[in-house]
């Protein structure tokens, strides 16, 4: 709608969105289409590359491991992010500024820097091992680095802001009058939270979960630096096929399988939950 109150026509809206669609087509759609073409057309028209992905148990294990880590990271991120988002809605003044700064601070550094910091913390003589020995939990350094646990912990830390902000946006849109009304009707604080606050915040929870889950599926830097070659994820496998074996058609087939999987998840969520509700819209 324009500043004078008149609505913009459909053609005007389309023209305004044209640069965005052109950019998305150039940097996202075209590379994906090109990769999918490579997977079935090189060196000759065939679906053998997809057959290798689906028939080889090693590659199937990598896909299942990637799915499991993405689900685990999403669950842990939600578990730690909801209390932070809830505290942000209740905090005021300097406390709110401090919490917001802690949430936004990771955006001021790259994923590589944050992953390297976790590598320093989790190394054999790192701060975590020193703390475990100081408290008497272990008698000698334990192997924390280059494990699946290290990947999950670091990915959870990196992706927490992407969960906190949608939940915070949903919680802010909930009127405090709802909780007061529940209290007046005799509901305890815990029951009011379960039956009022939590259901109304589900759009933020779902949008944050989708964002974290889909991002975790394609995560590369953190698994490559903190994980072991025996427990690689699909993004690391794709990189290996491109850089080491130079098998572009097979790497493209891996991308095609992952793209199909992500598309199916997106369709399922779009059928289950309306898009405008995920974005915090009202009925």
Give the DSSP letter of residue 175. Answer: -
Q: What is the pLDDT of residues 41-92, one digit of tens each?
A: 777 777 888 888 888 888 889 988 999 999 999 999 999 999 999 999 988 8
Cβ within 8 Å of residue 240, ≥6 positions away:
232
Distance of CA 5 to the CA centre of its chain: 38
Structure tokens at 88: 């942000």
Give the DSSP letter of residue 185. Answer: T
Q: What is the pLDDT of residues 141-199, one digit of tens each?
A: 888 888 889 999 999 999 999 999 999 999 998 888 888 888 888 888 888 888 888 88
**6-10, 17-21, 160-164, 207-211: range with lowest mean pLDDT:** 6-10
Cβ within 8 Å of residue 232, ≥6 positions away:
62, 65, 223, 240
Q: What is the mean pLDDT of the chain?
A: 84
Structure tokens at 57: 């148990």
Residue 82 vs residue 133, higher pLDDT: 82
Check whether domain 48-278 has CATH 1.10.8.640, yes or no? no
Q: Is 186 left (phi over 0), alpha (psi -120 to 50) or beta?
A: left
pTM of the model: 0.83
pLDDT score for 192: 86
pLDDT score for 225: 87
**Separation CA 162–CA 151 (nearest Å):** 17
**58-67, 102-111, 197-206: range with lowest mean pLDDT:** 102-111
What percent of the chain stands above pLDDT 70? 92
Structure tokens at 235: 């993004």
Question: pLDDT at residue 283 above 50?
Answer: no
Question: pLDDT at residue 276 above 60?
Answer: no
* Cα distance between the two ends of the chain: 20
For residues 11-39, give the mean pLDDT: 84
pLDDT grade for 281, boundaries at 50, 70 and 90: very low
For residues 90-118, give the mean pLDDT: 86
């Amino acid at each position: 709608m324009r500043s004078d109150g008149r609505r913009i026509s459909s053609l005007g809206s389309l023209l305004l969105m044209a640069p965005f669609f052109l950019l998305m087509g150039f940097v996202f759609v075209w590379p994906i289409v090109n990769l999918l073409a490579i997977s079935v057309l090189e060196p000759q028209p065939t679906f053998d590359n997809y057959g290798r992905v689906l028939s080889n148990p090693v590659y199937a294990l990598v896909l299942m491991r990637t799915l499991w880590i993405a689900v685990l990271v999403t669950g842990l991120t939600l578990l730690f992010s909801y209390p932070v988002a809830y505290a942000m809605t209740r905090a005021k003044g300097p406390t709110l500024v401090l919490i917001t700064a802690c949430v936004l601070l990771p955006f001021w550094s790259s994923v590589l820097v944050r992953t390297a910091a976790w590598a320093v913390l989790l190394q054999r003589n790192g701060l975590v091992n020193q703390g475990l020995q100081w408290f008497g939990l272990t008698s000698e350094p334990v192997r924390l680095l280059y494990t699946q646990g290290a990947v999950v912990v670091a990915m959870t830390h990196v992706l927490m802001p992407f969960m906190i902000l949608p939940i915070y946006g949903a919680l802010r849109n909930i009127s405090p009058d709802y909780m007061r009304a529940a209290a007046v009707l005799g509901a305890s604080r815990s029951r009011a939270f379960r039956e009022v606050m939590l259901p109304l915040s589900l759009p933020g929870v779902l949008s944050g979960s989708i964002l974290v889950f889909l991002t975790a599926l394609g995560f590369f830097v953190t698994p490559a630096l903190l994980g072991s070659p025996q427990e690689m994820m699909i993004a690391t496998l794709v990189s290996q096929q491109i850089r080491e074996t130079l098998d572009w058609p097979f790497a493209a087939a891996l991308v095609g399988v992952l793209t199909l999987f992500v598309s199916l998840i997106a369709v399922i969520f779009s059928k289950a939950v309306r898009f405008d509700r995920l974005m915090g819209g009202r009925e």
